[in-house]
């Protein structure tokens, strides 16, 4: 039986109702949180650790969707039940998004929650035996100190992997995205979701980004010299824009590497675009003036309206993988994708679908006219020295990838 769970709901009445039902079903400890923020803040200290989370969707401040994202960012991967009074199509879309983020979603329950629907969801846990699996990496979560990351940057333990971005009509590679990797000698590989957030919190994001950038620029220059011209995408955190010297600094590094700004795409997450429409907008505009490409990363997760984004100096939007992955079998995702692509086209932005994992999703996005694709279906992120070999293999799959290709040989 379930030992411990957490109910997140802003309504005291609803929360206590759900908690009572859970206890009646035999759950020993029911933790309660009145908001996503509270849940995230207290999660580490909850004892015993919740084996399951019941999360409400509509909450003031951080809503249920954002709460789920935050749980992922913190690597709190716990089975979920999504509860909401909203229409079932919306609940299902959230359920799909949470699944894509790696959560085991036991059920999506329409409120008011009743005993039968809870019981049915609990039964899923027993069936799949997922009950107590809290993400294993979580154990080391608190052990990584800022000082460790600081030293890792100085000791050049941060290296970069590259993931291809390809033209969806032809399958031809246009560029790569640089993704930071940290392999800690004792702890092993640490995921960027964790150390990027740590760097952002601890004032280390500037040196970390420079470390990534100098490697990525050197790599691009090396490929250029061999006649392989690939655009290089680099992720920028919002916190970087606080430093007025950022633009000049990046330009200096570019000059040193002998590269043109037009070969570089800076990816900025949608939520940080919103936050930076104030202070960061000047920096973004300067980057654009100098000829850098500017991409809105994770589009669709930050609740930005296209109109607001259109005011920014962007050249590209990247549709978040939670909308892309599995779209061929989810009508709701397809509607979202089509409207985002449609608006992207009207704003004359390059549209990139990230997280394409299957041929079905590749074909779907291709038929929707998405300009570029990225994802495990094409290639996983890999060390720079593996890219030339991979390119050779990739050449041979172009026929299948092409929009008029049907996989058969002619
Ligand atoms: O493979 P992936 O796990 O690499 O990356 C996880 C997240 O970390 C992605 O959202 C990616 O944007 C982010 N990320 C990876 N490298 C960097 C980086 O150098 N800077 C910033 N700000 N984010 C990065
Ligand atoms: O910066 P951004 O969030 O766009 O970073 C891309 C992230 O997505 C990286 O963590 C990368 O490893 C990951 N990624 C790339 N392709 C796929 C994919 O096909 N499926 C999944 N689940 N993740 C992917
Ligand atoms: Mn990115």
- For residue 111 the two structure tokens come to 């409120």
The pLDDT value recorded for residue 215 is 97
Contact 168, 370 (CB under 8 A): yes
Predicted pLDDT at 302: 63
CA–CA dist 104, 98 (Å, integer): 8
User: Of 94, 103, 97, which is closest to residue 124 (Cα–Cα)?
Assistant: 103
Query: Would you state the pLDDT for residue 304?
Result: 62
User: In this predicted model, what pLDDT tens digit does every residue of 23-39 receive, in sequence order?
Assistant: 999 888 899 999 999 99
pTM for the model stands at: 0.71
Instruction: Identify the residue whose C-alpha is closest to ligand 2 atom 8.
Output: 355
Mutation pick for ligand 2 pocket among 195, 268, 298, 375 (CB with most ligand atoms within 8 Å): 375
For residue 192, give the ligand 1 atom closest to its CA: 8
109: phi > 0 → left, psi -120 to 50 → alpha, else beta; which? beta
Those residues whose C-beta lies under 8 Å from the C-beta of residue 284, and which sit 6 or more positions away, are: 241, 268, 276, 294, 312, 313
Q: What's the pLDDT score for residue 295?
A: 94
Is the confidence at residue 170, as pLDDT, over 80?
A: yes
Is 179 close to ligand 2, i.e. is its CB under 6 Å away?
yes
Q: What is the pLDDT of residues 70-124, one digit of tens each?
A: 887 777 878 899 998 887 777 777 777 787 777 788 888 888 899 999 988 888 7
> Average of pLDDT values for 292-321?
81
Of 130-139, 171-180, 197-206, 347-356, least confident by mean pLDDT is: 130-139
Cα 335 to ligand 2 centroid, rounded to whole Å: 22
pLDDT score, position 126? 60
For range 196-218, the mean pLDDT: 93
d(CA 238, CA 296): 12
Q: Is 297 in the pocket of ligand 2 (CB under 6 A)?
A: yes
- Name the 3-class secondary structure at 337: helix
State if residue 354 touches ligand 2 by the CB under 6 angstroms criterion.
yes
- Give tens-digit pLDDT for 125-169: 765 443 333 333 433 444 678 899 999 999 999 999 999 999 999
Is any atom of ligand 2 closer than 6 Å to the C-beta of 376? yes
Task: Please identify, by atom number, the ligand 2 atom nearest to the C-alpha of residue 235.
Answer: 1
- What is the C-alpha to C-alpha distance for residues 57 and 10, in angstroms, rounded to an integer? 10
What is the distance between the alpha carbons of residues 85 and 88, in angstroms, rounded to a whole number? 8
Q: What is the per-residue pLDDT for 48?
A: 83
Nearest C-alpha neighbor of 361 from the set 338, 329, 335, 336: 329
- Ligand 1 atom 5 nearest Cα: 192
């Amino acid at each position: 039986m379930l030992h411990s769970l957490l109910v997140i709901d802003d309504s005291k009445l609803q929360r206590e109702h759900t908690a009572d039902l859970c206890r009646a079903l035999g759950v020993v400890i029911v933790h309660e949180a009145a908001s996503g923020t509270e849940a995230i803040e207290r999660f580490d200290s909850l004892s015993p650790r919740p084996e399951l989370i019941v999360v409400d969707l509509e909450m003031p401040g951080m809503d249920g969707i954002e709460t789920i994202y935050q749980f992922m960012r913190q690597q709190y991967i716990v089975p979920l039940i999504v509860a909401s009074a909203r229409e079932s199509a919306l609940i299902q879309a959230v359920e799909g998004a949470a699944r894509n983020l790696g959560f085991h979603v036991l059920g999506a329950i329409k409120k008011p929650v009743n005993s039968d629907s809870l019981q049915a969801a609990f039964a899923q846990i027993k069936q799949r035996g997922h009950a107590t699996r809290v993400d294993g990496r979580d154990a080391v979560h608190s052990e990584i100190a800022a000082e460790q990351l600081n030293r890792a940057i100085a000791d050049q333990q941060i290296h970069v992997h590259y993931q291809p971005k390809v033209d969806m009509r032809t399958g031809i590679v246009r560029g790569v995205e640089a993704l930071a990797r940290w392999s800690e000698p004792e702890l092993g590989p640490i995921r960027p979701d964790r150390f990027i957030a740590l760097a952002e919190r601890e004032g280390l994001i500037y040196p970390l980004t420079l470390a990534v950038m100098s490697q990525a620029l050197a790599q691009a220059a090396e490929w250029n010299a061999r006649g392989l011209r690939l655009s290089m995408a680099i992720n920028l955190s919002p916190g970087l824009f606080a430093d007025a010297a950022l633009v000049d600094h990046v330009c200096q590094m570019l000059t040193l590497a002998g590269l043109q700004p037009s070969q570089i795409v800076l990816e900025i997450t949608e939520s940080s675009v919103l936050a930076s429409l104030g202070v960061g907008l000047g920096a973004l505009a300067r980057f654009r003036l100098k000829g850098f490409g500017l991409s809105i990363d994770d589009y669709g997760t930050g609740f930005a309206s296209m109109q607001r984004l259109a005011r920014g100096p962007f050249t590209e939007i990247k549709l978040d993988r939670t909308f892309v992955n599995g779209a061929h079998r989810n009508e709701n995702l397809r509607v979202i994708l089509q409207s985002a692509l449609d608006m992207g086209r009207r704003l004359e932005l390059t549209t990139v679908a990230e997280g394409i994992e299957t041929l079905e999703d590749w074909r779907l996005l291709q038929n929707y006219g998405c300009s570029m694709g990225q994802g495990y279906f094409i290639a996983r992120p890999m060390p720079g020295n593996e890219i030339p070999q991979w390119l050779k293999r990739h050449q041979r799959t172009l026929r299948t990838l092409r929009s008029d290709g049907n996989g058969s040989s002619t």
